[in-house]
């Protein structure tokens, strides 16, 4: 990892501040010219006889010509985001679709429909839409445009339409792939390396996620005990005149440590835990993308084998194989480009996240 070399190459005589370390890691790309801005905010509870659910306001501002207006405001519930994700996967089976927050975020740590849960989900949904908006291909998807612009009744009507051509093609690929077993014969080495990378990455990021949750849990238990410990010294000082000032000083010190600990917990829950868990979800998505690429390759391999065993219909099979070869090449190119983009984003997210945690720890110990 070149980042280790970069850090170690700093002169030990020159103190390096955490913020300057972050600057060392920043990509040197110029500012992107964005033409689509999305905000997810204003959660609102809805209670019906059947269910209770939350909707979020989605505000879109754009200068793109394919939009009829420059600004849109719609309300969407979690199920609508799920629909969008499934449509993107159907239309782009070998692109890396950003993950959605799970049905229950940080299970056991926050209650469903609590303010903390709703805010955590709002941030995750905001990030989901903006990752799509920043993607060079997904941002122009027609279902994404409908999601951002259609009123609730229009979106509901659009959802009820039958599966489109891309969906039926996806079903065909899955049907063929279900008969494919074992390793794909002609898989390029690059995708075998990707698969191996993701297996290792999955193990490491899952372990990091578990450790981070354990740290947060221990920190919270420490904080709760400390909250009770400070007032005890204040009460004690009332009955010990000789050491009253010292006891009050200890109580004040505990109170300051308590506030510092609370800030550190907030930093963990806002910056570290969501990023780590997002990449745990990304591992499942990437493994799924690699499988779908293999399924397309498997369909091609089965046609090539069928052609070799048949003497008739060679022209028809050759035409089908040509189309499948084009399909495999498009799938490979799409995944290669997305893979490089995903790795760059992941490395930036990890560096900035852990540097942020280090800075928070420095502030905590100083306080």
Q: Identify the bridge partners of residue 36 per DSSP, sorted by sequence position.
A: 62
Rounded to whole angstroms, what are the CA distances from 62 to 58, 128, 190? 13, 18, 38
Quickly state the pLDDT bin for 299 (edges 50, 70, 90): confident
Cα–Cα distance measured from residue 365 to residue 367, given in angstroms and rounded to the nearest whole number = 5
Residue 283's φ and ψ, nearest 5 degrees, are -60, -40
34: left (phi over 0), alpha (psi -120 to 50) or beta: beta
Residue 22: band (very low, low, confident or very high) from pLDDT cuts 50, 70, 90: very low
Amino acid 87: pLDDT: 95
Q: Sheet of 52-62: strands edge to edge?
A: 36-47, 52-62, 71-77
Query: What SS3 state is found at 319?
Result: helix
Give the gyration radius of the chain's Cα atoms: 26
Supply the angle between the helices 165-177 and 273-309 in degrees, to the nearest 10.
Answer: 70
CB count within 10 Å of CB 75 equals 15
Is pLDDT larger for residue 255 or for residue 171? 255
The confidence band for 46, taking pLDDT boundaries of 50, 70 and 90, is confident
Residue 24 has a pLDDT of 45
Nearest Cα residue to 61 out of 34, 37, 33, 32: 37
Q: What's the rounded Cα separation, in Å, for the pair 270 and 356?
A: 11
Handedness of CA 8, 13, 17, 23 (dihedral sign): negative
Query: In the predicted model, what is the mean pLDDT of residues 207-229?
Result: 94
Among residues of the chain, what percentage have pLDDT more than 70? 80
pTM: 0.78
Q: Which of 361, 359, 278 is nearest to 22 (CA)?
A: 359
Q: How far apart are CA 60 and CA 39, in angstroms?
A: 7
pLDDT reading at 294 higher than 70: yes
Between CA 145 and CA 161 the distance in angstroms is 16
Is residue 131 within 8 A of residue 98, CB to CB? The reply is yes
Q: How far is residue 132 from each of residues 62, 144, 334, measured CA to CA in Å?
A: 14, 8, 15
Which two three-digit tokens encode residue 56? 């979020």
**pLDDT tier at 111, thresholds 50, 70, 90:** low
Read off the pLDDT of residues 122-174 as tens digits, 9 standing for 90 and up. 999 999 999 999 999 999 999 999 999 999 888 988 888 765 544 544 554 44
The ranges of the chain annotated as CATH 1.20.1270.60 are 187-366
- Give the pLDDT confidence score for residue 314 in this predicted structure: 65
- pLDDT, mean of residues 227-244: 90
- The 3-state DSSP class for residue 336 equals helix
What are the tens digits of pLDDT across the range 303-341?
777 777 665 566 666 777 888 888 889 999 999 999 999
Q: Give the helix/strand (H/E) hosting 47.
A: strand 36-47
- Rounded to whole angstroms, the maximal C-alpha distance in the chain is 106
* 25-29, 283-287, 321-325: segment of lowest average pLDDT: 25-29
Instruction: Please provide the distance, in angstroms rounded to a whole number, between the alpha carbons at the two ends of the chain.
Output: 33
- Give the span between the Cα atoms of 76 and 7, in whole angstroms: 45
Residue 89, φ and ψ in degrees, nearest 5 = -65, -40
Per DSSP, the residues of 270-304 read IIIHHHHHHHHHHHHHHHHHHHHHHHHHHHHHHHH
Sign of CA dihedral 297, 299, 302, 308: negative
Residues of the chain with CATH 3.30.1520.10: 34-154
pLDDT category at 51 given cuts 50, 70, 90 is: confident
Is CATH 3.30.1520.10 what the domain over 34-154 is classified as, yes or no?
yes
* pLDDT at residue 17, rounded to an integer: 45
Taking the C-alpha atoms of residue 60 and residue 149, their distance in angstroms, rounded to an integer, is 8
Closest CA to 148 of 243, 74, 214: 74
Task: Please state which of the four CATH numbers 1.20.1270.60, 3.20.20.70, 3.40.50.300, 2.40.50.140 is assigned to the domain occupying 187-366.
Answer: 1.20.1270.60
In order of 59, 114, 143, the CA distances from 360 in angstroms are 32, 26, 40
Confidence of residue 199 (pLDDT cuts 50, 70, 90): very high
Mean pLDDT of the chain: 83
Q: Report the range out of 48-52, 116-120, 225-229 with the highest average pLDDT.
A: 225-229
Is residue 28 scored above 50 in pLDDT? no
């Amino acid at each position: 990892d070149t980042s280790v070399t970069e850090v170690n190459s700093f002169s030990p005589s020159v103190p390096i501040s955490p913020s300057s370390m972050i600057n060392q890691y920043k990509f040197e790309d110029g500012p992107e010219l964005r033409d689509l801005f999305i905000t997810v905010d204003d959660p609102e509870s809805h209670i019906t006889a059947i269910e209770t659910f939350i909707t979020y306001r989605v505000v879109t501002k754009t200068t793109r010509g394919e939009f009829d207006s420059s600004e849109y405001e719609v309300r969407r519930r979690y199920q609508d985001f799920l629909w969008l994700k499934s449509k993107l996967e159907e239309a782009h089976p070998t692109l890396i679709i950003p993950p959605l927050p799970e049905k229950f975020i940080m299970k056991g740590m926050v209650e469903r429909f609590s303010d903390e849960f709703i805010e955590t989900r709002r941030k995750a949904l905001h990030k989901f839409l903006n990752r799509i908006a920043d993607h060079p291909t997904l941002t122009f998807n027609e279902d994404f445009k409908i999601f951002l612009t259609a009123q609730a009744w229009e979106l509901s009507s659009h959802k009820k339409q039958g599966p489109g051509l891309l969906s039926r093609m996806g079903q065909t690929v899955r049907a063929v792939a279900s008969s494919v077993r074992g390793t794909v014969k002609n898989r390029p080495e690059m995708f075998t390396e990707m698969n191996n990378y993701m297996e290792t990455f999955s193990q490491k990021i899952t372990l990091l996620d578990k450790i981070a949750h354990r740290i947060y849990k221990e920190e919270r238990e420490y904080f709760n005990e400390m909250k009770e410990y400070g007032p005890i010294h204040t009460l004690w000082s009332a009955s010990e005149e000789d050491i009253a000032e010292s006891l009050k000083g200890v109580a004040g010190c505990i109170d300051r440590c308590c506030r510092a600990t609370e800030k550190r917990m907030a930093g963990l829950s806002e910056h570290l835990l969501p990023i780590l868990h997002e990449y745990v979800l990304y591992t499942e998505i990437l493994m799924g993308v690699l499988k779908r690429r293999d399924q397309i390759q498997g369909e091609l391999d089965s046609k090539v084998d069928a052609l070799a065993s048949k003497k008739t219909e060679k022209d028809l099979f050759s035409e089908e194989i040509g189309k499948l070869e084009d399909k495999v090449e498009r799938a490979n190119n799409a995944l290669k480009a997305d893979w490089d983009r995903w790795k760059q984003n992941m490395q930036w997210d990890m560096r900035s996240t852990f540097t942020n945690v280090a800075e928070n720890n420095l502030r905590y110990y100083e306080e």
